[in-house]
Structure 1
């Protein structure tokens, strides 16, 4: 039997004793749909957050060929990140829609962890579905591959004998990742109050205007506000009645 939010355990506060975070996802807009309100609050507090995207989202808009779509979505992602105080956005140039979990992906993410040396790593739901709250909708292969590879790469980054070729690139091991936090998880354990960053999260997602206009016929701002408000309200009963960005946190 699936527990309701009222019956499920209360969500703990996210750990706060860190300075650097690295967010690793598959596509432009993944973080804006998932956790931009939390990121806005963290950057307001003086924490450093860097974005790494496996693809440029070039296969995401049916009416645009990838050569046109990729640069457009990259520009939208950089603008979107800036809204919530993130200035560093990197792209790994895996192919959108056909990312493969494997050593190449793990190596690329481990390299990013070594470059940026985060204490907190953030990624998106790596499980097969989005859970009963959204009707058990099937997740995409890209999300599953990148989420799983990020969980693994957080450990790979600290072992000099895994991917020793990274040492030749001057990337020394980093064993300082203390947590990996998964946004959009079907089984969250922790949360951040979404209220302080909510308005900026709306504008951050709205920066993906070309994608949103291709996705829905609704007014973009109405669509974004409705989606984010509903998403943040989903776990309020488990977080003292406050709108929440929820994460499943894996300590390391």
Structure 2
């Protein structure tokens, strides 16, 4: 199975679906993470955007190694400036076709962060177009089975599919800790991202809370685009 996570920022994969990615990688599936941006706005003003992006790129690669993913790439969008356009939709069509995934993981559209909103819409529309033979790009058409959306507890996101990550919660946390600059940034950022205060402890608690809902030690939750293909994610 091929699994592709398309995330807006370098730490999003670890935060939202790190346990699921680690589980699929451990069982031998091909796992890739495509980052829309390099997260260059994720600094407190003491560094340039270029410096922040360089640090976050390396953090992403380190986190990918912890999770066991096969590919870590960056799609070239600007942090805080992802917009919906036909041109950008085709960038995502090409990304999907390049990886030819069975399942795609990405952001839930009802999210406070505008980059998450735009990413969700671009991926969803590209998912439809990726299978159309006459929509020509650099790669051949593909037909992923499903999209699974992840979201913040502050949005209207309500998971329906749960992945047991009981054996991978520590791996998820270790991957998150590779994003050292962002663990510090989110603490300093304060109220805007209040749900991420004490991020490591919060994610561990969230995983355990979701696990209790479905009878396991820890879980991650997703909302599938198509109900009939939920089994692919487990």
Q: Report the TM range for the smaller structure's normalisation.
A: 0.7 to 0.9
Cα deviation 1:2-51 (Å, max 9, x = unaligned) = xxxxxxxxxxxxxxxxx101110111001111010111111111111111
> Are residues 1:155 and 2:128 paired?
yes
Q: CA deviation at 1:225?
A: 3.4
- Does the 8 Å contact 2:5/2:32 carry over to 1? yes
Work out which structure has the larger RCO, using CA pairs closer than 8 Å and 6 or more positions apart in sequence.
Answer: 1
Q: TM-score under structure 2 normalisation?
A: 0.86
> Are residues 1:240 and 2:215 paired?
yes
- Does the 8 Å contact 2:108/2:151 carry over to 1? yes
Q: 1:233 to 1:75 in 2, by over 3 A?
A: same
Segment drifting more, 98-107 vs 112-121? 98-107
Gap regions ≥5 residues in structure 2: 189-196, 230-234
Q: Following the alignment from structure 1 to structure 2, what is the Cα–Cα distance between the partners of residues 47 and 173?
A: 21
Q: CA deviation at 1:241?
A: 4.7
- Does the 8 Å contact 1:37/1:198 carry over to 2? yes
What root-mean-square deviation, in Å, do the aligned CA atoms of Structure 1 and Structure 2 show? 1.7
> Moved runs in structure 1, 4+ residues, more than 3 A?
222-225
Q: Following the alignment from structure 1 to structure 2, what is the Cα–Cα distance between the partners of residues 87 and 223?
A: 29
The number of equivalent residue pairs is 214
Q: 1:44 to 1:241 in 2, by over 3 A?
A: closer
- Does the 8 Å contact 1:56/1:96 carry over to 2? yes
Gap regions ≥5 residues in structure 1: 1-18, 129-138
Partner residue of 1:190 out of 142, 149, 161: 161
Structure number with greater Rg is 1
Q: Following the alignment from structure 2 to structure 1, what is the Cα–Cα distance between the partners of residues 185 and 116?
A: 20
SS in 1 for 2:5: strand
